[in-house]
Chain A
Amino acid sequence: MFKKLCEKSFPKSLWVYHCNVGACNGCDIEVIDVLTPYYDAERFGIKLVASPRHADVLLVCGPVTRQVVPALKRLYEAVPDPKLVIAIGSCAVGGGIWFDSYNIVGGADTILPVDYYIPGCPPRPEAILHGVAVALGLAEKEIESVHLKQLLDRPESVPVEVESLYS
């Protein structure tokens, strides 16, 4: 659904606003790296803008500290519709190694509706480009939840309901 929305609403280019909500700067550096001529995300029409009011996409890096929650909510409201949120880095995806710290909320999707997730610590620039390609419909996602068993015919084993963990 988001893919369709994406194709319909952004026929030309994505202007991104990059925000750091408690990241260690590793992810921010990789985001800047992606914009250099070597990786050149600008060939997909991606442009870093200085104000959320000009942006279509919010790039969120970091595990979201408690301090930044109101600011992040205001930032999200400031981006005009239709908007996308991309979580970059293990921190923004799931809280990273700080997922249960006292000052951390734990993941961007506990505050915002996140559309695309790019895990990695930091994700290498190619991984971010792959995320961009997934967002633009140029590539397919390559990851799926895995359920493996050594014993195939054990009657009482019930797999963990992954969906219920995230509802």
Chain B
Amino acid sequence: MITSKLKEAILSLRPGRVTLKYPFAPHDPEGDFRGYPELDTDKCIGCGACAAVCPARLIMIQDIDQNTRRMVRLLERCIFCGRCADVCPEDAITMTKHFELSTDSGREDMVAECEVFMATCQRCTRCYEPANPLDKIMEPGFRDDEIKRGGQDSPYEPIQSD
């Protein structure tokens, strides 16, 4: 019995140290890991394709005036799927490998807002004309999405911290 225990001990010593040193030493994700989606404001043309495909509907577009578009991204509910980076015609969104997103001050740390300048059409003097007539009826004038965060219409009383 003792020999079997000894054997077990020797066997379990063989692999050596397997534990990752992670919080004390950096450990970069390998492969095609997708982390924080970063937006390059200089490349973005404000087309809104990313807002249309985002499954979490976290990209909200508001037009401040004729040619300035504000994009508010509530990345707190981002699922890092990469669809926004996929559809972006200008490759303005890159999925970085940044995963250390934990915070102690609240979800507003994940909000990313940007303002982009949109070139005006020489013919219609508007920025983007909807592709088909139906969309034109549905979306007259400028786009002004409501910023909707998870739980804002919650009917429940939250427990207050003491």
Contact = CB atoms under 8 A, between A and B. Distances in A.
Contacts of A123: 99, 101-102
B100 A150 contact: no
A95 B108 contact: no
Interface residues of A, number: 71
Interface string B108-136: 11111111110000000000000000000
B102 A148 contact: no
A126 B27 contact: yes
For chain B, give the interface size range. Answer: 35 or more
A25 B98 CA distance: 23
B160 A113 contact: yes
B22 to A, nearest CB: 5
30 contacts: A3-B104, A76-B159, A90-B76, A90-B78, A94-B74, A94-B77, A94-B149, A96-B56, A99-B148, A106-B151, A106-B152, A107-B76, A110-B151, A110-B158, A112-B159, A117-B103, A123-B99, A123-B101, A124-B33, A126-B22, A130-B100, A141-B104, A147-B114, A148-B114, A149-B114, A156-B65, A160-B147, A166-B106, A166-B107, A166-B149
